[in-house]
Chain A
Amino acid sequence: MARVGVFVCFCGANIADFVDVPTVVEEAKKIREVKFAVDYKYMCSDPGQQMIRDAIVQYRLTSIVVAACSPRMHEKTFRKALSDAGMNPYLLEVANIREHSSWVHQKDKKAATDKAGDLVRMAVAKSIANEQLHEISVPVTKRALVIGGGIAGIQAALDIADARIPVTLVERSPSIGGRMAQLDETFPTLDCSQCILTPKMVDVASHPFIELIPYSEVIELDGYVGNYKAKIRKKASYVNFKSCTGCGACWQKCPVKVPNEYNMGIDTRKAIYTPFPQAVPNKPVIDAKHCTMLLKGKCGICAKFCEKGAIDFKMTDEVIEREIGAVVVATGYDLWDATPYEEYGVGRYKDIINSLEFERMVSANGPTGGLPVRPSDGKVPKTVVFIKCVGSRDKAKGIEFCSKICCMYTAKHAILLHHKVHDSRAYIFYMDIRAAGKGYEEFVNRAQVETGAVYLRGRVSKIYQKGEKLMVRGEDGQLGQEVEVEADLVVLATAIIPDKENPALARLLGISYDKYGYLSEAHPKLRPVETAKAGIFLAGCTQAPKDIPETVAQASACAAKVCGLFAGDTIKKDPMVSTVNKDFCSGCQNCVKVCPYQAIVTEDIPLGHGAKEMRTVAKINEGVCQGCGSCVAICRSMAINLAGFTDPQIINEIVAI
């Protein structure tokens, strides 16, 4: 005979204002199995928990029902109270009479009370069928995989490796560094981006706990938290990195010219190239799409000039495997293509560029030697118009969100322009100036006061050519009048979008992403670096637009999460997972298809006792299973049971109302 204890919480006024708590207690007492029922102002408080512990001993209770807030809040608290009293914590049921009753039925007190009574009756009925469950222990492989070698990936890898945990850092391009390596100076301190980044890049290359795999991609991820298996495809570089000294003879002699991605296509690189002088690793790769030797079988000049014989045109892609325990995804951002802004003449006028192109121009190691120039005639511009929110906050043509960093980098560009061309002037068309951050507002003021950048509030309506100049028409919202600026150069602060391969990567990793392609965190406020899949974490702009300090902070947070995960030899996991009753399983494999975590595989078992014929049944990996219950719902032969939500428990609940 079950002996259930019911504990009803007032939650201050949250519940008690709309639910008559004493009535709920009286209702609970009418149930045959309920041997003890009581109410208290705050059940989650220490005295409240003590009441539960005392009642368990005094009334020899076999299961507990707490009628209070959502189990998301305090289920763990009450489970702990149960185990402190020597009871299995999974004999607890929480009846959510706050979010499910008092908060949503504030207009009808009686109905709210009746519903709370029903919820308690259901929980009591369910708890009678509760079984003792025990946490699952999963072994851990202590190696982390970091995907993406920008500042986020670099910081995460360094922080994890500094904790003496091996890290595999996978980077798609030939060098780590990412977008930050393309920047000139960084706001709000204007320190040189390369100067603060390259030491970290060198650290990555030389760190004993970091395995750097450049020019490669993750193509498969199997397994579950603590026990992932990743397949990484190393793209053929056609250069033997072991014998290459990075002398540079090959790319000096290569006759093929290709638009240079590092300089946003402003100048050219060769078909065999290192992306930039400070590249890590500083070894060239051959761009197979443009190399004449690989395309047509003629040339091979680089091989002739390579003293070390490091060039190998027969090299092929190679797939390697790594066993890892956790993944940090840091795939970064891209700039939105502004072509839909036809009224600006994007693509029609050469002297309209985007912010990264401007950034490369003003960089000391950039294609123009640090001086901004007009792409049309190579002249140095005197009047430069910067347009913010191009594609951002524009649901008609671009994306709805604010790209967050454009306000700051545009202020920086105005300052850099003034530094490079003293007699120039920046006109900035803006919608708002969003400069929230340490030293940010002061930085924008600096742009306005020191460099005389003119801020004009309004969106530009059109741009047209008049002689050599570009006429930029907008409204000065401060004067309420139309203005037209005679510009030499127009710089568009286009929206920040995630890497275009994010959705494919998300599917490969089994994590979710939003409509823009940003990878989704587990909780927008309280779990900002974790994904819904245990053991996979997010750093940097792959999750949302953010600036360098925020990216670094998030990357370090990821490292802390990884270190926490690897702190013990095993990981404790909730026992509420599905199991298959093989006798009932018909082998239809519908569950395999619906499982969002790829936790279900198939296995072959003998058809009968001692039989030689085999049949296929489903098998659930309890390490991966998150207990969502999709398989239970789709199983037509009722062969799958989810611990904590078994058929008897659910049927009891239904019968109770």
Chain B
Amino acid sequence: MITLSYKGKNTFLEAVNEKSGSDVLECYQCGKCVSTCPVSNFMDFPPREIMQMIKLELKEECQMANSTWFCLTCSACSGRCPREINIPAVMEAVRHMAIEENFHPDSKQVKNIRKFHEIFLDMIRRYGRNYELRMMAEFNIRTRNLFKDMHLAPKALLKGKIPLGVKSMKSAKAIKKMYEMADKLEQQSK
């Protein structure tokens, strides 16, 4: 049972709208996003229901759902949305709010996804680009699953999909600067 009681302001809805630059109120619940989404089968609430939950100010339920973490931001949904809602941006907004407030589902899958995000961003910060080999290693170590996907490694190596080193990049410094600026901004906003 969901109890709806209006407190004079749509805080969650307005925050999501502001972060995503999209208007969730536009959603008329057609479900085209759900049938488009390649991973909606694995979500506990498909994108359409997430939109409705935002409208109903069900912040906790929304952040506890694994949907926003499972979203691949492939944008197939927003490409087809008749109400022109940027659904991946909405998903991302909810995700960001969860990270900021340190409030996210307890499931292992979501934890792994978070670790993946963190490691990936760390790779970019260090090298300005992804270093696949290190990324895989770190992910396997941090998730305590050393031999995960190891059987794919020989084939991928032979095909050159996993370079052994990382090529240096001209603009790596600039990217580092971006990170620093982002950190500064984040601290300011706190």
Q: Which residues of B contact A427 (CB under 8 A)?
A: 4
Q: Does A382 lie within 8 Å of B25, measured CB to CB? A: no
A482 touches B (CB below 8 Å) = yes
Q: B56 touches which one: A448, A454, A457 (CB < 8 A)?
A: A454
Q: Which of A480-506 contact B (CB under 8 A)?
A: 481-486
Contact A482 B9 (CB under 8 A): no
Of the candidates B8, B23, B49, the one whose C-beta lies within 8 Å of that of A479 is B49
Chain B neighbourhood of A476, CB < 8 A: 2, 52, 56
Contact B28 A448 (CB under 8 A): yes
A423, CB-defined interface residue at 8 Å: yes
CB pair B1–A484 under 8 Å, yes or no, is: yes
8 A Cβ contacts from B126-179 to A: none
- In whole angstroms, how far apart are the Cα atoms of A383 and B23 in the complex? 22
Q: Are B5 and A449 in contact (CB under 8 A)?
A: no
> In the complex, what's the smallest C-beta–C-beta distance from A194 to chain B, in angstroms?
31
Binary flags per residue of B19-36, CB closer than 8 Å to A gives 1, else 0? 000010110110000000
Residues 50 to 96 of chain B near chain A (Cβ within 8 Å): 52-53, 55-56
A425 at the interface (CB under 8 A from B): yes
Q: In this assembly, does B11 line the interface, its C-beta being within 8 Å of a C-beta of chain A?
A: no
CB distance from A385 to the nearest CB of B (A): 9
Q: Does B114 contact A (CB under 8 A)?
A: no
B53 / chain A contacts, CB cutoff of 8 Å:
479
| Interface residue? B48 (CB, 8 A) | yes
Q: How far is the CB of A348 from chain B (nearest CB, A)?
A: 22
CB of B112 closer than 8 Å to a CB of A = no
Q: Would you call B4 and A486 a contact (CB within 8 A)?
A: yes
Residue of A nearest to B3 (CB): A484
**At the interface, yes or no: B10 with Cβ under 8 Å from chain A?**
yes
CB distance A483 to B48 under 8 Å?
Answer: no
CA distance A427 to B49 in the complex (A): 17
Q: Does A189 contact B (CB under 8 A)?
A: no
> Is A58 an interface position by the 8 A CB rule?
no
Cβ contact within 8 Å between A452 and B4: no
A481: nearest chain-B partner, CB-CB: B2
Q: Hey, which chain B residues are within 8 Å of A479, CB to CB?
A: 2, 45, 49, 52-53, 56
Q: A483 to B56, alpha carbons, bound, how many Å?
A: 10
Nearest-CB residue, chain A, relative to B27: A448
Contact A478 B48, beta carbon cutoff 8 Å: yes
A423 contacts which of B5, B8, B55 (Cβ < 8 Å)? B8
Do B3 and A486 have beta carbons less than 8 Å apart?
A: yes
CB 8 Å contact bits of A421-454 with B (1 = contact, 0 = none): 0011101000000000000000001001100101
Query: Known: A448-B25, A449-B25, A454-B55. Is A478-B49 also a contact (CB below 8 A)?
Result: yes
Q: With A452-B10, A452-B25 as known contacts, state yes or no: A478 contacts B4, CB within 8 Å.
A: no
> Which of B4, B9, B23 counts the most A-chain CB atoms under 10 A from its CB?
B4
Q: Total A-B residue pairs with C-beta atoms closer than 8 Å?
A: 58
Q: Is the interface of A mostly helix, strand, loop or mixed?
A: strand
**A485: nearest residue on chain B (CB-CB)?**
B4
Q: Please indicate the chain B residues that have their CB under 8 angstroms from the CB of A448 in the complex.
A: 25-26, 28
Least CB distance from A118 to B in Å reads: 56
Choice from B3, B6, B25, B49 contacting A483 with Cβ under 8 Å: B3
Complex contact A449–B49 (CB within 8 A): no
Q: How far is the CA of A449 from the CA of B26 in the complex (A)?
A: 6
Q: Is the CB of A482 within 8 A of B2?
A: yes
B26: chain A residues within 8 A (beta carbon): 445, 448-449
| In-complex Cβ contact of B5 among A383, A452, A482 (8 A) | A383
Considering only CB atoms, which chain B residue lies closest to A457 in the complex? B29
Q: Which residues of the partner chain B approach A486 to less than 8 Å between Cβ atoms?
A: 3-6
| B13 to chain A: closest residue by CB | A452
**A483/B2 contact (C-beta < 8 A), A423-B8, A448-B28, A449-B26 known:** yes
CA distance A486 to B52 in the complex (A): 18
Interface residues on A, range: 20 to 34
The residue in chain B whose Cβ has the minimal distance to the Cβ of A422 is: B8
Residues of B within 8 A of A454 (CB): 4, 55-56
Query: Which one of A425, A445, A478, A481 contacts B1 once the chains associate, using CB atoms below 8 Å?
Result: A481
Chain B hits for A482, CB < 8 A: 1-2
Closest Cβ–Cβ distance, residue A212 to chain B (whole Å): 47
When chains A and B are docked, how far (Å) is the Cα of A448 from the Cα of B48? 16
Q: Give 1 or 0 for each of A218-246: 1 = CB within 8 Å of chain B CB.
A: 00000000000000000000000000000
Q: Given the complex, which residues of B lie within 8 Å of A452, measured CB to CB?
A: 10, 13, 25
Distance from B95 Cβ to chain A, minimum over Cβ atoms (Å): 20
Which residues of B sit under 8 angstroms from A478, Cβ to Cβ?
29, 48-49, 52
Q: How far is the CB of A120 from chain B (nearest CB, A)?
A: 56
- Name the residue of chain A whose CB is nearest to the CB of B7: A382
| Inter-chain contacts of A485 with B (CB < 8 A) | 3-5
Enumerate A454-491 residues with CB–CB distance to B below 8 Å.
454, 457, 476, 478-479, 481-486
Tell me the complex Cα distance, A482–B56, Å. 13
Residues from chain A with a CB closer than 8 A to the CB of B23 are 449
- For B56, give the chain A residue with the smallest CB separation: A454
Tell me the smallest distance from the CB of B94 to a CB of chain A, in Å: 16
Query: What separation, in Å, do the CA atoms of A383 and B26 have in the docked complex?
Result: 21
Q: In the complex, which residue of chain A has the Cβ closest to the Cβ of B1?
A: A482
Interfacial chain B residues near A382, Cβ < 8 Å: 6, 8
B14 nearest CB neighbor, chain A only: A452
B80 to chain A, nearest CB (A): 19
- A48–B65 Cα distance when bound, in Å, is 73
In whole angstroms, what is the CA distance A445 to B25 when docked? 9
Binary B-proximity of A366-393 (CB < 8 A = 1, otherwise 0): 0000000000000000110000000000
Q: How distant is B120 from chain A, measured CB to nearest CB, in Å?
A: 33
Residues facing B in A399-432 (CB within 8 A) are 423-425, 427
User: What distance in Å separates the Cβ of B13 from its nearest Cβ neighbour in chain A?
Assistant: 8
Residue of A nearest to B26 (CB): A449
Report if A483-B29 is in contact (Cβ < 8 Å); known contacts: A476-B52, A476-B56.
Answer: no
B3 in contact with A423 (CB, 8 Å): no
CB distance from A475 to the nearest CB of B (A): 10
Q: Which residue of A lies closest to B55 (CB)?
A: A454
Docked CA distance A247–B157 (Å): 99
Q: In the docked arrangement, what's the CA distance between A457 and B26, Å?
A: 16
Q: How far is the CA of A227 from the CA of B184 in the complex (A)?
A: 91
- The listed residue with most A CB atoms (<10 A of its CB), out of B5, B26, B45, B53, is B5
Q: Which residues on the A side are within 8 Å of B52 (C-beta)? A: 476, 478-479
B8 proximity list for chain A (CB < 8 A): 382, 423
From residue B29, how far is it (CB to closest CB) to chain A in Å? Answer: 5
Determine the distance from Cα of A445 to Cα of B52 in the docked complex, in whole angstroms: 15
Bound CA–CA A464/B183 (angstroms): 52
Give the distance in Å from the alpha carbon of A427 to the alpha carbon of B4 in the complex.
9
How many angstroms from the CA of A146 to the CA of B132 in the assembled complex? 85
Which residues of chain B are near A483, meaning CB under 8 Å?
Answer: 1-4, 56
Assembly CA distance A423 to B55 (angstroms): 16
A449–B17 Cα gap in the complex (Å)?
12
Please give the residue numbers on chain B whose beta carbons come within 8 Å of chain A beta carbons, in ascending order.
Answer: 1-6, 8-10, 13, 23, 25-26, 28-29, 45, 48-49, 52-53, 55-56
21 A-B residue pairings within 8 Å (CB atoms): A424-B6, A425-B6, A427-B4, A448-B28, A449-B26, A452-B25, A454-B55, A454-B56, A457-B29, A476-B2, A476-B56, A479-B2, A479-B49, A482-B1, A483-B1, A483-B3, A484-B1, A484-B3, A484-B4, A485-B5, A486-B5
Known: A427-B4, A479-B45, A483-B56. 9 other contacts (CB 8 A): A382-B8, A425-B10, A445-B26, A449-B26, A454-B55, A476-B2, A484-B3, A485-B4, A486-B4
Q: Which 10 A-B residue pairs are closest in the complex by CB-CB distance?
A: A486-B5, A425-B6, A478-B52, A383-B6, A485-B4, A483-B2, A449-B25, A423-B8, A482-B1, A484-B3
